[in-house]
Amino acid sequence: MQTGSYRMVSEEEQAMRSKLEHLTVKDHGPVFGPCAKLPGHTVQKAKDELNETDERRASSVKDLRAMMKERAAEGDDLAKLVQERFGDKPDPLLLRFLRARKFDTSRAHELMKGLFPESKQLHFSLTRSVYK
């Protein structure tokens, strides 16, 4: 057990963490394209840095899909665009947004909204008075 840790860390996980310290970026598997199975140290890195687990992955994607529907139903125009564009997309695409925001679903949704040119016009109109 590590000192100062809030949870018990197994010996296997400790060994994996010590191995992570000596790895380079190229050791973490393919960046693009399908990957049948990620190396164990890459899975451990995702768990440490993003708190990503199989359960968290599934629940976050489900929560993000529900949030997209809910916010689109509220009448937000950008949220409707997000729902139209990403509502029927596969889970791996939504996981990209979730990983970029460390599985914070509301921040991932804001990132998706930021992809539309309409959001840039909205931000400009809000800040225009500052520049006058």
Model pLDDT for residues 54-92, shown as the tens digit of each residue? 899 999 999 999 999 999 999 888 899 999 999 999 999
Helix axes 91-100, 105-113, angle to 10 degrees: 100
Q: Residue type at 39? A: P
What's residue 86's pLDDT? Answer: 92
User: Where along the chain do its domains lie?
Assistant: 48-131
CATH 3.90.1300.10 given to domain 48-131:
no
> Mean of the pLDDT values across residues 44-58?
88
d(CA 22, CA 30): 18
DSSP 78-92: HHHHHHHHHTTS-HH
- Say what percent of the chain tops pLDDT 90: 39
DSSP H or E stretch at residue 121: helix 117-131
- Residue-averaged pLDDT of the chain: 79
Predicted confidence at residue 131, as pLDDT, reads: 47
Q: How many residues does the chain have?
A: 132
